[in-house]
Amino acid sequence: MEHITQNVDEWIRRDTKAITELVSALVQCQTPSPPGDTRGAMILVEKFLSARDLSFKRVTAEDTMPNLLSTIPMATEGRHLMLSGHLDVLPAGDEPGWHDDPWRGKIVDGRIWGRGTSDMKAGVAVMLFSYYYMFQLRKYLSGRLSLALASDEETGMGRGTGHMFTQIPSEMEADCVLSPEPSGTEAITFSSKGYLQFNVSVATRGAISGYPNQSPSAIRIAADIIRDLDELENISAELPPSIKGLLEDAHYREWYNAMYGEGSAEVIPAISVNVGTIAGGSSPSVISPGCFFEVTVVTPTGMDPEVVFKEAKAIVGRYPEAQIEFEGADIGDISATDHEMPVILQNVVTKLGWPKPKLTPDIAISDLRYWRYRGIPGFWYGPDGDNVSAANENVEIQQVLHLVRTYVLASVQYLQEDSSL
């Protein structure tokens, strides 16, 4: 194993500038979702793979949202390890406080700046270079290593990883999946919360503003419904034992809040209701005849979103002027905490001189759910994500290089043919 580690260190030193510039170039390929057009970023990915004689294929539901799968067969048969990531990112530009163009990909002060740096253009670069280095080490290994890059992760409408599972299910099956989603380098994420999305429309007769006797206001009714939907947060949930046990530890909760922000540990078992968009009315002089709003409810791991939607329907049903429409839902997903991959990651990270990462549940949703739902273990280990949805998102270059080392060495251990390597 020592000579492999030396080779990897040498390759990373040689490629440090190239790794950094690839992250920056991927940020400059604007891929906000919506609309989720990732074609420019996918061209960069395909050029990277082609230049290194790494074969791939597209498995695409919509032309503007390409997906890619590439697989390296090792020297002998064995297990299948999958690297999973996405090219789309959250929108940017409306948040206050940006000190530069969010799509510039500026490299300064040991960091790369811009929307998508941590979620997850840096992660894509980590996977690409790790995948290439593993290709060079394939004669020492057994099994297969695959790279799955998807679009449509941020909106989660099934046109990315979900589509690949529909089209090439046998090729997407794996023994374990890793993803450099922004967990923070002191954490390995083993679960995600679920979500429920629905919209509510309110319709009334409408009238001139001075005649409230002629019509109620659709906006006022919508406001009352939004207030009442807070009742959903009172529904109790039974957490899986692996999550419940962690949160019962006061020291763990203190660490978790320090890692992810005060109050984060308390959010893990809670239901949260968010009204993301609202539209209504045509004039301040008219009692609004219509109002429409969209809601996302984030549910604890282990809770059935249908239970929450049934209660939401009952709440909206109190108002005869209103209708509710289901948009989508995913139950929270989880992997066993006693799987060997977290142990491998922890050992690799500590040998590299970094703090031992703790196993953590997460709030955010990822494409790992497609594997976890099928009983395939999947884990995040990625950069810090403090500003993922805020101004001045950035990633530390040293973290990116650390992640490349970690992914290669952990993958080697998982796929090694001979434990004496």
pLDDT of residue 417: 59
Q: Of the residues 262, 297, 330, which one is the last residue of a structural domain?
A: 330
| Helix runs in 137-292, H state only | 161-167, 169-172, 218-229, 241-247, 250-260, 264-267
Statement: residue 402 has pLDDT above 70: yes
Q: Are residues 198 and 326 in the same domain?
A: yes
259 within a domain of the structure (yes/no): no
Closest CA to 295 of 281, 319, 316: 316
Sole residue written with tokens 């940006």: 98
Task: State phi, psi for 300 to the nearest 5 degrees.
Answer: -65, 150
Cross-strand pairs, 359? 188
Q: 3-state DSSP call for residue 383?
A: coil
pLDDT digits (tens, 9 = 90+) for 153-210: 998 778 999 999 999 999 999 999 999 999 999 999 999 999 999 999 999 999 999 9
User: Are 359 and 307 in a shared domain?
Assistant: no
Same domain, 145 and 284: no
Is 286 in the same domain as 366?
no
Same domain, 289 and 323: yes
Give the structural domain span for 409: 2-191+332-415
Report whether 182 contacts 126 (CB < 8 A). Answer: no
Binning pLDDT at 50, 70 and 90, where does residue 420 land? very low
- pLDDT one-digit tens code per residue, 83-126: 999 999 999 987 889 999 999 999 999 999 999 999 999 999 99
Residues 6 or more apart in contact with residue 338 via CB below 8 angstroms: none
| Integer Cα distance of 321 and 25 in angstroms | 50
Structure confidence at residue 30 as a pLDDT band (50, 70, 90) = very high
CB distance 137 to 121 below 8 Å: no
Taking residues 394-419, report their average pLDDT: 92
- 86: domain CATH number is 3.40.630.10
Q: Please give the pLDDT value at position 1.
A: 77
Q: Note whether 67 and 370 are within 8 A (CB).
A: no
Paired sense of beta strands 76-86 and 176-179, if any: parallel
Percent of the chain with pLDDT over 90: 93
199 & 324 share domain: yes
Residue with tokens 């992810």: 260
Same domain, 282 and 176: no
The tally of domains found in the chain comes to: 2
Amino acid in position 109: D
Same domain, 187 and 322: no
- 211 SS3 class: coil
Name the 3-class secondary structure at 9: helix
Q: Which of 310, 330, 350 is the last residue of a domain?
A: 330
Length of the chain in residues, anyone? 421
Q: Are both 361 and 215 inside the same structural domain?
A: no
Average pLDDT over residues 399-408: 98
DSSP 8-class letter at 232: G
